[in-house]
Amino acid sequence: MLPSTVVSVPAVLAVGSMYQQWALLGLLFLIALAFGVGNVVMSHMLGPARHGQVKESTYESGVDPRGGTKERFNVRFYLVAMIFVVFDVEVLFLIPWLSAFNHAGHPGLKLGQSGQLGPPGPGALFVSVLIFAGILLLAYGYAWAKGVFKWD
């Protein structure tokens, strides 16, 4: 399926619909970006701008601001982010499984570096994902037992 000849401009659209889909998504991204930038620039240009010391001070419900934002915050927020990374990676590992499971047993599904092995059946894939989910549950249970999810 590799194209044998050099594709003419706009080449990125011509390799099939895949590039086309992503070119559209990329263009939409640019449109959205332009919308955001345009609005910020426009309000910068059109709106009035009057400066003042009190006006530009931080809003703290009317009183003079005390201290800065360099307050240390609870380490729990960091822990939530860490645990989120772990769970996110594990959950995203499920997506290729989902796709493989859908085609399980299909002869087109080749295994190994050179595709020398036959396709796995749904049973093998299911057991494999059960073990993977079991490990995920283990991590979850550990975090629960350690009181990570205890917010108070």
Cα distance between residue 95 and residue 51, in whole Å: 53
Positions in 65-94 near another protein (CB under 8 A): 65, 67-94
Q: Say whether residue 50 binds another protein (CB under 8 A).
A: yes
Q: Say whether residue 150 binds another protein (CB under 8 A).
A: yes
Least distance (Å) between residue 147 CB and another protein:
7
Q: Say whether residue 62 binds another protein (CB under 8 A).
A: no
Positions in 102-121 near another protein (CB under 8 A): 102-106, 108-112, 117, 119-120
C-alpha separations of 136 from 15, 88, 125, 150 in Å:
39, 11, 17, 19
Task: Return left, alpha or beta for 47; rule: phi > 0 is left, psi -120 to 50 is alpha, else beta.
Answer: beta
Q: Say whether residue 131 binds another protein (CB under 8 A).
A: yes
Q: Which DSSP state fits 115?
A: S
Question: Is residue 8 helix, strand or coil?
Answer: coil
Q: Say whether residue 63 binds another protein (CB under 8 A).
A: no
